[in-house]
Amino acid sequence: MNKLAVLEKINSQMRAVLAKEAELAGDPNDTSVGFEQMRVNYTLGRAFWNEGGPEMAAVCDTVFEVAGKEVAARIYYPTEEAVSAWDAKRGAIPAIVYAHGGGWVVGNLETHDRICRTLSRNSAAIVVAVDYHLAPEAKFPQPIIEVAEVAQRLHEKGAAFGIDGEALGIAGDSGGAHIALATTMYLRERKGEGSLIKSLLLFYGWFGLADSPSKRLLGGPWDGLTEKDWEFYLCLAFEDPDAALADPLANLFLNDLTRNMPACYIAAAKLDPLLDDSALLATICKENGVPCRYEVFEGVIHAFLHYTRMLDAANDALLHAATFYREALGLPDLIR
């Protein structure tokens, strides 16, 4: 009720993407099939969009031990040219920890492979994608703790991977953007590591709003974010979704976001029901002197970052985020 006619407002490239999605087998956003089948559909549905990503100097899979559990991760080393340049300049390479999206319920290292490759290529940094355990098997806040522990390990012992532990950023899309900001708050508030993360790259995340104009006006089967879909994710991710809104690791607006914050790149989609979460976070940052770049990409919907094969906005967002990361850390531009 009262929804905007989103499919009449998307741009021509986004329309072409949705047409291609309709050709592919299965609906990656259909929550009615249950989370187990949805994971299969989501992985299959993302396979086409991950083909042909940038070539890396190396891609290595590894495992971190976190609280008695094995957490898989994939380490993307940028282009050979960039690696050689870093070796000549400082030896160790700056790094970005990446938390994938998927509503805390779906997604893995494969579904976000091209995003991570592109971010690594654009930033000339190492990207460490964390395959955190998913809900409902791993309820909140386990994914946050896992990503935070990996980041802390890289800060302390990143040299083992050729990583400069003093030059860490953290990024994520959708539910992964929530995990990225929550990880930063967890490290600051519970671990006393307020300066560990130097930059945040947040793509169309949910940060705590229970209701908003964008939630009322937007969301549908085209993005898998109807009210019923949203309830599906929250009920699987949190033991008690209502109680979670009182927890500062879930509702991130309960934290003091005016102090001791890393520089923030915030990307939003104009036709995304989560738009107002990004807008509010950006306003808080800008009004309180937190270095911030906020971009709203016109004519696109939630999860647009996946579509770099066909969508200029996806490529622009990843390039702008990478540039922001380098500038926030005062890193040289090694991109050719």
Distance of CA 12 to the CA centre of its chain: 25
pLDDT single digits (tens) 202-251: 999 999 999 999 999 999 999 999 999 999 999 999 999 999 999 999 99
Share of the chain above pLDDT 90, in %: 91
Closest CA to 331 of 151, 127, 167: 167
- Checking if the pLDDT of 68 tops 90, the result is no
Residue 335 lies in a domain: no
- Give the separation between CA 74 and CA 171, rounded to whole angstroms: 14
CATH code of 46's domain: 3.40.50.1820
Residue 336 lies in a domain: no
- Cβ pair 3, 218 in contact under 8 A: yes
The pLDDT value recorded for residue 97 is 98
pLDDT single digits (tens) 131-168: 999 999 999 999 999 999 999 999 999 999 999 999 99
Tell me whether residue 302 is one of the annotated catalytic residues: yes
- Cβ pair 128, 178 in contact under 8 A: no
The pLDDT value recorded for residue 90 is 75
Residue 202 lies in a domain: yes
Closest CA to 215 of 39, 42, 20, 3: 3
The number of domains in the chain is 1
Among residues 100, 131, 155, 174, the one annotated as catalytic is 174
Residue 14 lies in a domain: yes
Residue 1 lies in a domain: no
- Checking if the pLDDT of 335 tops 70, the result is no
**Structural domain for 163, as ranges:** 6-328
Among residues 131, 173, 229, 272, the one annotated as catalytic is 272
> Rounded to the nearest 5°, which phi and psi values hold at 93?
-110, 135
Residue 334 lies in a domain: no
Q: Return the number of other C-beta atoms located less than 10 Å from residue 310's C-beta.
A: 14
pLDDT single digits (tens) 266-302: 999 999 999 999 999 999 999 999 999 999 999 999 9
Paired strand residues for 99: 130, 172
Placement of tokens 């969508």 in the chain:
311
Tell me whether residue 174 is one of the annotated catalytic residues: yes
- DSSP conformation letters of 99-141: E--STTTS--TTTTHHHHHHHHHHHTSEEEEEEPPPTTTS-TT
Q: Return the number of other C-beta atoms located less than 10 Å from residue 203's C-beta.
A: 29
The pLDDT value recorded for residue 1 is 84
The pLDDT value recorded for residue 333 is 83
